[in-house]
Structure 1
């Protein structure tokens, strides 16, 4: 159905977006703690 290259690209892009979200969450958590204190 889908060539392997497109699947790999999709998974890679998904992993990258997940990592970016995690980084943003960490930053928001740190900023939230600083603002609360």
Structure 2
């Protein structure tokens, strides 16, 4: 794995975006479940 700092920052940004997207979906799903019950 090449240790390029540019690639590392891009991967980190992509990981953060995926993580925030996942938490957003999870909170939406939890709110949806709350409305259903």
Q: TM-score, normalised by structure 1?
A: 0.82
Runs (4+) of structure 1 exceeding 4 A deviation are none
Q: CA RMSD in A?
A: 1.4
Aligned length: 35
Question: Residue 14 of structure 2 corresponds to which residue in structure 1?
Answer: 14
**Structure 2 unmatched runs, 5+:** none
